[in-house]
Amino acid sequence: MKFWVFLWVVAPFSSALFEEEAGQLDFHIATTGHGPVQVAYAIHDAVITSNPDSCYTASRNIGDGSLLWRHNVCSSTTGKGHAMAVGSKYVTTLDDNGILRAWHAENGLLAWDVVVVSPNCTPRLGVVTEKNEDYVVASCGGNSYSYFHMATGALAPEKSGRITDVKPVTFCAEAKLLLNFQGSALKVWDSANGNQDSLAVEWEASSETDPIALVTFLKCSATVAHVLISTQRGTTKVIAIEEKEITTLWQAEEGLSTISVGSLVDASHYVGGEGTSHDLLSLPNRLQSQWKAITSIFTTERSDRRNHLFGFVKIAILMSTSANRIWALDTIDRNIRYQIDLPEANWHRLVHGGPGTGYHGDHGDYLALSNIRNEQLEWICWDGPTGKLLQKGAIQLKSPVAQIIPVETSSTDCRQGALILTQDQSIHSIPSSDEVTIPESGLYTHVVDKENSIKTLLLRGTSRLTMGSTVFDGEKIISLAYPPRQESVQSPCSVMGDDSLLLKYLNPHLAVFITEKVSSYKDDEMVSAMFQVNRKPVGATDESDSMEVSVPSTKPNLFINVVDTVSGQVLYRVSHANAAKFPKPQAVISENWIYYTFGNSKTRRSELGVLSLYEGMIGSKGVTAFTSPEYSSTFSSLDARDSKPVVLSKLYSLAKPVSALGVTTSRSGISSRRLLLATVDGQITGVDRKLVDPRRPLGQLKDSEKKEGLRPYTELIPIVPYMTINYNQTVESAHTVISASTDLESQSLVLAFGGPDIFFARTSPARGFDLLPDSFNRPLLSLVVAALLVTVLVVDRMAAKKMKKQTWL
């Protein structure tokens, strides 16, 4: 009961959507989740697709490509692949844990499931038809087969019929067409008997860098044939061939399910030519914009002026390492503006911004680095909003890359550069050493070495000075977080309820390293416990017994380390016991706050740790007209006295485990920030910062704390549905949540990706105080104003008449 009352109290603080607004300020891209299609089979008006190396099976409508259903068919987080077989009404999947499932092909509902064998299965499936009944044949490797009736799941005796599996259909007897492909070209042959009689159509289905991997007929009749084309990088197309004319019905980018890194770049082109955003947000321009909005009601033209005026137009630059591709997604019209194919490489990195710029950069240029082989690095530089290629090149390194430092260049072509620091401590510049140089004062950087140590360096000219190093002995770095570059901070201090000030610790060279204990035989409690002689339970000792009773202690296995990346020293370290490996611990830094989450294997809950860092405090009488405290405006990471912050911390519990963390950002940092939690069940929920404030008192509130708006500490942070920005849509397995500001202080843009779904939304954490809502009734307002004007004129005339009459009398 108390929980629901608490929700009722918290709910008014939420800025929930109205139902008709859903889909207006956000969009959701659902992919099949399996990447490039390797298996495709048509049933009625749907095509069932999958990839044996992934855990997903999905169904799309052949006509318009809409996703009908999608399932993760693996039974555990360690699952890596599955096999699929299709009958007349059912789709069966067998995962590598030996679980066989049958799904209704039409709607994806689970019909039945059964265990074939124990885990460690190499799944193989086939279908055999006997007396018009489909039977699925399952095998986990070897020559052992199990037969199940596809409709009911009942175990059946061995069948003598021919076992078929899903293979591409390349011959259409009705249309007398044969398909094959070469590179990126689709070839359609006239074929009476399955031979290549004559070439009917040759069509460039994709680009040279993205050759075709699979073609298959989906539907086929004498007049029209539907063909599915899948490329190596995950582009799926369905085309219709009618009288040798090819029409593309739809196209989907399945590679979007493997996005590893993303960034939002501004693409708002100011209307009316040149002008700063300050001019365009002036009153006359805003009034003009409102007038255009009113007149646009009577036209069918959609006004994009507001989106450009307020900086809502962003391009999401999304890179997939496994698909070797970059996509640019327009967040307004939700289309892919362009895509760039990268060479196949060991890794790719996206570089944007620099030490003196914001995270989303002052310019829109991007750099992509690809490590091909033997330390050969290829790079391209392009304009983010348009996709125009600016420069490209390649460099040969002598040793592996240790760190990539984004810098701005003096070049007029490509404004984004990078300094590549290799393990042998040599520096390479991209685009070139003339355009990218190390500043005379030097450049501080750090290198993460051997997964458990950090070394900080000062690069100055040709010298490489080691500033410091930290080794996490017996631990392994599993996650790290950096503060957002040049985040807008509205105030350097927090005002408390008693008018005293807490000075925020705003160190731009902060980083959070999450480490976990690596077990070795030295630390193995069970081993040492087995060799303890005369071990007695607690309380069982005699007076004469001199042995100490050992009580099993829970040693911490997760450590949160706040490190200064200039000096290399650990500013703060906190440890936690019983930390679970799944989901992976996450951390995010915003202003002087650090949020981190991890799973607790003992309580089976997720925990949210919040650290707020302060330089110090000034009392309520400390700053007056006549007195001011001693304060230095400069800060040195190398001064041990100054660099250590005062840390306030609190631990909260969450009802659901978290797969990604994010924080909303705003233009000037005035709007209250909201913590975004992407939970494993596919929800992205906002939590107000006041709810997770480390200063929430444990006991009763004092007057000053009430004045500040603090609430008593409660362990559990509720997940409020009103605060869920993706409402009833599922964003499965998101591993990154990023945020960007707009030209309006109240509006913040959020992008979540990493799994089969991509979600983008425009939110207002402090409600839209500087923006009329889209649903604002402008016609009604105009009508009321006009009616009032008419009323005033009429009443004025009536009053004048009455006065005249009275005077006359």
Write out the residues near another protein by the rule CB under 8 A. Answer: 2-4, 16-20, 22, 71-72, 74-77, 97-99, 101, 104, 108-113, 115, 118-119, 521, 526-528, 530-531, 580, 582-583, 599, 604, 606, 655-657, 680-683, 716, 718-719, 721-722, 724, 727-730
Q: Hey, CA dihedral for 434, 439, 442, 447, is it positive or negative?
A: negative
527 vs 793, beta carbon nearer another protein: 527
682 vs 754, beta carbon nearer another protein: 682
640-679 exposure pattern, b = at least 16 Cβ within 10 A, e = fewer: eeebbbebeebebebebbbbbbbbbbbbebebebbbbbbb
642 vs 681, beta carbon nearer another protein: 681
113 vs 362, beta carbon nearer another protein: 113
Going from the C-alpha of 639 to that of each of 204, 564, 566, 634, 642, the distances in angstroms are: 63, 11, 11, 11, 6
Q: How far is the CB of 525 from another protein (least distance, A)?
A: 12
Rounded CA-CA distance 449/451 in Å is 5
Q: How far is the CB of 346 from another protein (least distance, A)?
A: 29
96 vs 591, beta carbon nearer another protein: 96
225 vs 758, beta carbon nearer another protein: 758
670 vs 786, beta carbon nearer another protein: 786
Cis peptide bond prior to 431, omega within 30° of 0 = yes
Eight-class DSSP state of 289: H
389 vs 788, beta carbon nearer another protein: 788
CA 133 to chain centre: 45
Beta-carbon contacts of residue 142 (< 8 Å; ≥ 6 apart) = none
CB-facing half-sphere around the CA of 403: CA atoms within 13 A: 22
- The DSSP annotation for 134-146 comes to EEEEEESSTT--E
Rounded CA-CA distance 681/659 in Å is 9
Q: Hey, CA dihedral for 19, 24, 26, 31, is it positive or negative?
A: positive
CA 443 to chain centre: 30
Q: How far is the CB of 550 from another protein (least distance, A)?
A: 16
Q: How far is the CB of 104 from another protein (least distance, A)?
A: 7
Q: How far is the CB of 512 from another protein (least distance, A)?
A: 23
Eight-class DSSP state of 18: P
Rounded CA-CA distance 526/510 in Å is 38
Q: How far is the CB of 297 from another protein (least distance, A)?
A: 20
Angle, vertex CA 12, rays to CA 8 and CA 14, nearest 5: 110
Q: CB–CB of 587/572 below 8 Å?
A: no
5 vs 283, beta carbon nearer another protein: 5
Rounded CA-CA distance 770/311 in Å is 14
Q: How far is the CB of 200 from another protein (least distance, A)?
A: 43
Q: How many residues does the chain have?
A: 809
58 vs 418, beta carbon nearer another protein: 58
Q: CB–CB of 689/696 below 8 Å?
A: no
Q: How far is the CB of 108 from another protein (least distance, A)?
A: 7
Q: How far is the CB of 582 from another protein (least distance, A)?
A: 6
Q: How far is the CB of 227 from another protein (least distance, A)?
A: 31
Q: What is the dihedral of CA 312, 16, 290, 666, to 10 degrees?
A: -40
- Helix axis angle for 283-295 and 778-808, nearest 10°, is 100
112 vs 713, beta carbon nearer another protein: 112
Could you tell me which of 9, 168, 228, 29 has the C-alpha nearest to residue 758? Answer: 29
Q: How far is the CB of 190 from another protein (least distance, A)?
A: 44
Q: How far is the CB of 530 from another protein (least distance, A)?
A: 7
Beta-carbon contacts of residue 495 (< 8 Å; ≥ 6 apart) = 501
76 vs 282, beta carbon nearer another protein: 76
Rounded CA-CA distance 81/97 in Å is 9
26 vs 210, beta carbon nearer another protein: 26
Rounded CA-CA distance 785/772 in Å is 17
6 vs 482, beta carbon nearer another protein: 6
Q: How far is the CB of 99 from another protein (least distance, A)?
A: 6
Strand locations in 664-715 (E):
674-679, 684-688
20 vs 473, beta carbon nearer another protein: 20
21 vs 341, beta carbon nearer another protein: 21
Collapse the DSSP code of 689 into the 3-class scheme (helix H, G, I; strand E, B; otherwise coil) and give the result. helix
422 vs 729, beta carbon nearer another protein: 729
Going from the C-alpha of 718 to that of each of 574, 589, 687, 691, the distances in angstroms are: 24, 22, 9, 9
183: left (phi over 0), alpha (psi -120 to 50) or beta: left
450: left (phi over 0), alpha (psi -120 to 50) or beta: left
Q: How far is the CB of 79 from another protein (least distance, A)?
A: 9
Q: How far is the CB of 557 from another protein (least distance, A)?
A: 17
Strands 716-717 vs 646-654: parallel, antiparallel or unpaired: parallel
Bridge partners, residue 100, by sequence: 94, 114
Rounded CA-CA distance 91/103 in Å is 5
523: left (phi over 0), alpha (psi -120 to 50) or beta: alpha
Amino acid letter, residue 493: C
Q: How far is the CB of 152 from another protein (least distance, A)?
A: 12
Q: CB–CB of 340/253 below 8 Å?
A: no
Q: How far is the CB of 264 from another protein (least distance, A)?
A: 25
- The DSSP annotation for 443-476 comes to EEEEEEETTTEEEEEEEETTEEEEEEEEE-TTEE
CA-based radius of gyration for the chain: 32
Q: How far is the CB of 709 from another protein (least distance, A)?
A: 23
472 vs 727, beta carbon nearer another protein: 727
